[in-house]
């Protein structure tokens, strides 16, 4: 409530992003190595303190500019608030966390202290950042199934095989190219460009190129069972 008393209740507030990208057929997250105590040498998510005159998402994008070109971030969304009082030793710091996604064909230049790490085998991480990365991965996996979120991992144009590789890397389990193609086509998520990609050195039929019909998040799986009746009318 806005009735702020004289009692001191302010807290520092940071924003943190788990920026994910498929690199070398592996789901990776952008981390930087802390040079100072506490948790010196451990790897941390990019972020920083919330400024006076910005909302959390604006702040997050601003902070990411230092680490990765923001134009490369195809999608960003809030994950949740981490606010355990002792999550960072020494000070009280509340974190609003984000999931960010970078298409696999982008190769942003990142600072010296910054590196991509496979989400499946994280190095020692600072504070509660490993949990945040897990949450981000789980959110991505869930949304790949019932939304068009693949657009944020894929390049502008791609073949079905390439898209399949991305889904396999993100989901961590086999995906059939045949069915992926049909499911996404039926839902109107993919549209053919009409072009084909040249075959590889070992030959094979040239693959048709596709792009995502929309590059903004949309829920595509209507199979929520308690939806309104007669939707088809």
Partner DNA sequence: TCAAAAGTGTTCTAGCTACACCCATGG
Partner DNA sequence: CCATGGGTGTAGCTAGAACACTTTTGA
List residues near a second copy by CB under 8 A: 1-4, 9-14, 36, 38, 44, 47-56, 78, 80-81, 83-85, 88, 90-94, 96, 127, 142, 144-146, 167, 171, 173-176, 180, 183, 221, 223-229
| Chosen from a second copy, DNA, none, partner binding at 117 (C-beta under 5 to 8 Å by type) | none
**Closer CB to DNA, residue 70 or residue 183?**
183
Residue 13 corresponds to which tokens in the numbers above?
């507030």
205 lies in the site for DNA, by CB under 7 A: yes
Q: Find which of DNA, a second copy, none residue 121 binds, CB within 5 to 8 Å per kind.
A: none
Q: Which positions from 155 through 194 interact with DNA, judged by CB under 7 A?
A: 159-161, 176-179, 181-183, 186-187
Residues 69-128 that bind DNA (CB under 7 A): none
CB of 40 to a second copy, least distance (A): 11
* Interface pick for DNA out of 8, 71, 173, 227 (rule CB under 7 A): 227
142 forms part of the interface with DNA (CB under 7 A): no
Q: Determine how many CB atoms are found less than 10 A away from the CB of residue 183.
A: 16
Residue 44 binds which one of DNA, a second copy, none, with CB within 5 to 8 A depending on kind?
Answer: a second copy
Give CB contacts under 8 A, 24+ apart, made by 185-190. Answer: 187/148, 187/220, 187/221, 188/213, 188/220, 189/148, 189/150, 189/213, 189/214, 189/220
Nearest distance, CB of residue 197 and DNA, angstroms: 8
Nearer to DNA, 11 or 161 (CB): 161
Given the structure tokens 């790949």, which residue do they identify?
144
Contacts of 22 (CB under 8 A, 6+ apart): 28, 104, 153, 165, 166, 169, 170
Sign of CA dihedral 160, 192, 100, 114: positive
133 contacts 44 by C-beta, under 8 angstroms: no
* Long-range Cβ contact pairs of 49-52 (< 8 A, separation 24 or more): 49/12, 49/13, 49/14, 50/13, 50/14, 50/15, 50/96
Q: What are the Cα distances from residue 123, in Å, to 55, 218, 232?
A: 31, 34, 50
Q: Which is nearer to a second copy, 35 or 205 (CB)?
A: 35
Which residues are near DNA by CB under 7 A?
A: 159-161, 176-179, 181-183, 186-187, 196, 198-208, 221-223, 225-227, 229-230
């Amino acid at each position: 409530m806005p009735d702020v008393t004289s009692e001191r209740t302010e807290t520092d507030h940071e924003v943190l992003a788990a920026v994910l990208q498929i690199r070398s057929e592996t789901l990776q997250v952008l981390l930087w190595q802390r040079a100072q105590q506490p948790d010196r040498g451990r790897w941390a998510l990019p972020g920083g303190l919330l400024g006076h005159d910005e909302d959390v998402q604006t702040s997050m994008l601003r902070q990411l500019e230092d680490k990765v070109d923001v134009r490369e971030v195809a999608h960003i969304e809030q994950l949740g608030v981490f606010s355990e009082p002792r999550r960072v030793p020494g000070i009280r710091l509340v974190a609003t966390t984000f999931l960010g996604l970078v298409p696999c064909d982008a190769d942003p230049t990142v600072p010296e202290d910054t590196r991509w790490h496979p989400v499946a085998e994280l190095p020692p991480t600072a504070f509660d950042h490993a949990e945040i990365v897990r949450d981000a991965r789980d959110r991505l996996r869930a949304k790949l199934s019932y939304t068009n979120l693949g657009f944020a991992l894929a390049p502008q144009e791609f073949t079905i095989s390439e898209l399949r590789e991305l889904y396999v890397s993100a989901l961590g389990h086999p995906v059939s190219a045949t069915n992926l193609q049909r499911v996404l086509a039926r839902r109107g998520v993919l549209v053919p460009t009409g072009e084909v990609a040249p075959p590889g050195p070992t030959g094979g039929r040239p693959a048709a190129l596709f792009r995502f019909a929309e590059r903004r998040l949309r829920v595509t799986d209507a199979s929520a069972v308690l939806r309104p009746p007669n939707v088809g009318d």
